[in-house]
Amino acid sequence: MAGIVRGLHVNPEGGVPKHPVDSLEVLTNGCTGDKQNDTRHHGGPSKAVCLMEVRVMEQLQALGHPIEPGTTGENLLIDGLEVGSLDVGVELLVGQVRMTITGDAPPCKTIRASFSEGEFKALSHKQLPGQTRWYASVQETGTVRLGDAVEVFNAGEPTGNP
């Protein structure tokens, strides 16, 4: 089941919120025009891209949290994937960019404004499996645009790319 890119976000000054853009150049070390203020916990080759599913954001909004696209630091907001299809080791082809999920992005206090009463741990894979943002490493760089397809490949399943 293919998904679709619904949002692209960067912040050239670092931190959150990240601001919407129409296209995003994705490199092995991160997204062009995006800066991380805390490079100990964010960015670099194993955390080059942060992504979130629309359904996760909508679930949090339904609980009354003021979360919006880009407010929790995600670079990619994707929609239409089968529930539970993202996990560590899963490969994605997003537009022309190939990436692999390397881990969940644990919540931290910098995103607390996106949550009622500062309950930022409502976005915790450890507490609520799958209700998270994900980090990914990049194997093939390129440009991602709004509306691009998102294809999911299980860990080890060939993507058709060398």
| Fold of the CATH domain 3-153 | M1 Pyruvate Kinase; Domain 3 (2.40.33)
Q: How far is CA 22 from the centre of its chain?
A: 16
Closest CA to 48 of 91, 108, 101: 101
Domain-by-domain residue ranges, the chain?
3-153
Residues of the chain below pLDDT 50: 162
DSSP string, 52-71: EEHHHHHHHHHTT----TTT
Closest CA to 139 of 95, 98, 88: 98
pLDDT at 162: 46
pLDDT at 43: 75
Q: What global pTM score does this model have?
A: 0.92
pLDDT at 13: 94
Tokens, residue 32: 């062009």
